[in-house]
Every structure is written in structure tokens, then in C-alpha cells.
């Protein structure tokens, strides 16, 4: 059985924990604590402080181990640690919250310093009326042309799977080169 | 010549023999959070423990850096129904050890340190 490590990252409240919860074959490991900062509490009650972890068997030869990071920049040391050995990563962004785009840009820049692994952007909450289209999000974030920005609904298994399979194809293409 | 994994399993088995019933389970884990050899008991998930153990090491390294107290040599978590130890094993990996509640910590620490060193050399 081959194991591939994939990191799921993105700014606060982008839907990273949900993404892993939706697809994992095992009960995911979560490290949620109550949110105390008022500005963060406006978005959700609990937040990941160390990691989320889940696994998904792609077939009988390949398993993905998903490591979700905390979102807040004050936890960026965990980004470095969780990125060790990762062959690719997903940057999640809430399509309805353009206010989080600058933070997302900083996160993308930081990850590019941490690892050379390829990534895809998952534009989450595309089932929401207020969701901005992936093409617009790509422009606003300044995502490189060869990096996909994929529509995503983190609560929908088929959608999460599509994001992971797209990332896998990119990883496979790199390995072949 | 035994494979790397077999050699590491032998080290873990030796640790479990030397420490007697005090060691309930042990695993050698890469810093990437993926276990490469494990003798964890059937009721714990090796994958989950490995991911958490690597995270503990990541956080602890950070503590060492922030407080300028150097690099982590040993982490012991004492819970009300058992203990959990994490030690670096060379540069790239760590040893996670699950202990029963009334374990002889002095002995286990010595044995675990030896095992971690041996694993570090094999890796």
C-alpha cells in the first residue's frame, strides 16, 4: 500500500476541517478548541489548533493521508511542520468572503516558501448564492495559470473527491516528468 | 539482511521486552506523521496516533525555540489512565510509546532513549 501525504490548508473558516470530515474513511482526528477572539467568534465557535487528520483509500494500492492545518497566521509554525513530506496541498478559500482574500494570498506565498509541492485552490461554498466564481477568485488571488482553481462544496463528497483527484493528477504528471 | 522495517520492529520488540508490561505499545513515526513500524495495541489506531505524535513533536520544537531552551529530547504526557512518551529518533523520525498508568518511568525512559537512538541509526 502506497501512502501519499496531502495537506489541506487555507485561511480561518475556509472549510478545511469539513473537507476532511466529508471524505475520510476513518473518524478524523480533530483538535478543536472554543474560539475566544470576538472577530473570530463571529464566524464560528470552534477552531483547529494543531491539526485535522483523515485517510481515504483511492484504490487497494493507494491511500491518501490528509493533514489539515490551523488557519490563523499565528499558527504558521504548524504549517511548516505539517508540510513535511507532503506531496501536494489544497488551499481552501471561502468563495463568499472576499475580505479573506488578502490573507489567502499571504498563505499561498508562505506555503510556496515552505514547500515546492504542487497545489490546487478549492473555491469552497460554491453552493451559496453569494459565491464568487472560481475565475474571479483566481484573478483576485493572482493564482499562477498552471494551478487549477476548482469549484468546491466541502460538505459534498463528490466535490471533495474531485478536488483531490485533480491534485493527484498534477502530482502524477510531475512524477512522470 | 533484515529490511529497515524489520530492524525497527526488532528494536521496538526489544523495548517492549526490556520494559515488561509497562509499555503497552510503541511506534516509529516519520516527522511527516506517517508510521513506518508499529506495535500499537489493537484498540488504538496507529495512523491517528502517528499523526498526533508528529504534531506533538512539532509543537514541542516550537516551545523549545520560543523559550530558547534548545531542542526537545523527550516529551511525557501523564494522563489519568496512562502515559504517552514521544522522543526524537535521529533527525527524521520519532519514537512514540504508550505506557500503562503505573509504569516505572525511570526504567522506561532509559529503555526508550536507547530504542530511539537505535531507530535513529537505522533510519
Domain with residue B101: its CATH number is 3.30.450.30
Interface contact A89, partner B, CB < 8 A: no
Determine the average pLDDT of the residues in B60-69. 92
Would you say B12 and B115 are in contact if contact means Cβ atoms under 8 Å apart? Answer: yes
How many CB contacts within 8 angstroms connect chain A with chain B? 56
For domain A2-176, give its CATH number from 3.40.50.300, 3.30.1330.40, 3.40.50.2300, 1.10.600.10: 3.40.50.300
Mean pLDDT across chain B: 94
H-helix segments, chain A: 16-23, 38-41, 76-82, 101-114, 134-141, 157-176
List Cβ neighbours of B4 (8 Å cut-off, separation of 6 or more).
B36, B122, B123
Residue A177 has pLDDT above 80, yes or no: no
Which residue range(s) make up the domain with B71? 4-122
Residue A32 has pLDDT above 90, yes or no: no
pLDDT digits over A85-96, tens only? Answer: 999 999 999 999
Q: What is the pLDDT of residue A124?
A: 98
Give how many domains chain B has, as a whole number: 1
Say whether the ipTM exceeds 0.90. Answer: no
Give the whole-angstrom CA distance, residue B97 versus residue B89. 12
Interface of B with A in 26-55 (CB under 8 A): 30-34, 45, 47-48, 51-52, 54-55
pLDDT digits over A35-58, tens only? Answer: 888 888 888 888 888 889 999 999
Q: What is the pLDDT of residue B1?
A: 63
Domain boundaries, chain A: 2-176
pLDDT digits over A106-139, tens only? Answer: 999 999 999 999 999 999 999 999 999 999 999 9
**Chain B neighbors of A53, CB-CB under 8 A:** 33, 47-48, 51-52
Interface contact B100, partner A, CB < 8 A: no
Q: What is the pLDDT of residue B62?
A: 87
Give the whole-angstrom CA distance, residue B84 versus residue B100. 9
Q: What is the pLDDT of residue A37?
A: 87
Measured between CB atoms, which of A3, A29, A78 is closest to B58? A78
Amino acid at each position: 500500500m502506497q501512502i501519499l501525504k496531502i495537506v489541506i490548508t487555507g485561511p480561518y473558516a475556509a472549510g478545511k476541517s469539513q473537507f476532511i470530515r466529508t471524505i475520510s474513511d476513518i473518524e478524523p482526528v480533530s483538535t478543536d478548541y472554543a474560539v475566544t477572539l470576538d472577530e473570530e467568534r463571529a464566524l464560528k465557535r470552534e477552531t483547529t489548533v494543531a491539526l485535522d487528520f483523515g485517510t481515504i483509500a483511492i484504490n487497494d494500492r493507494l491511500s491518501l493521508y490528509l493533514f489539515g492545518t490551523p488557519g490563523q497566521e499565528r499558527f504558521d509554525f504548524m504549517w511548516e511542520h505539517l508540510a513535511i513530506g507532503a506531496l501536494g496541498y489544497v488551499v481552501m478559500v471561502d468563495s463568499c468572503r472576499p475580505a479573506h482574500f488578502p490573507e489567502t494570498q499571504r498563505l499561498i506565498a508562505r506555503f510556496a516558501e515552505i514547500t515546492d509541492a504542487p497545489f490546487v485552490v478549492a473555491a469552497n461554498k460554491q453552493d451559496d448564492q453569494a459565491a464568487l466564481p472560481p475565475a474571479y477568485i483566481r484573478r483576485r488571488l493572482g493564482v499562477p495559470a498552471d494551478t487549477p482553481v476548482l469549484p468546491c462544496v466541502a460538505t459534498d463528497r463528490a466535490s471533495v473527491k474531485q478536488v483531490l483527484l485533480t491534485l493527484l493528477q498534477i502530482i502524477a504528471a510531475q512524477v512522470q516528468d | 539482511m533484515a529490511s529497515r522495517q524489520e530492524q525497527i520492529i526488532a528494536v521496538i520488540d526489544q523495548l517492549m521486552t526490556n520494559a515488561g508490561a509497562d509499555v503497552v505499545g510503541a511506534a516509529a513515526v516519520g516527522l511527516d506523521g506517517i508510521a513506518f513500524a508499529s506495535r500499537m495495541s489493537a484498540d488504538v489506531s496507529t495512523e491517528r496516533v502517528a499523526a498526533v505524535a508528529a504534531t506533538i513533536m512539532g509543537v514541542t520544537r516550537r516551545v523549545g525555540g520560543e523559550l530558547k531552551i534548545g531542542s526537545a529530547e523527550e516529551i511525557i504526557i501523564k494522563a489519568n489512565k496512562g502515559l504517552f512518551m514521544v522522543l526524537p529518533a535521529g533527525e527524521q523520525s520519532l519514537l512514540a510509546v504508550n505506557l500503562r498508568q503505573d509504569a516505572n518511568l525511570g526504567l522506561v525512559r532509559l529503555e526508550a532513549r536507547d530504542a530511539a537512538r537505535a531507530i535513529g541509526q537505522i533510519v
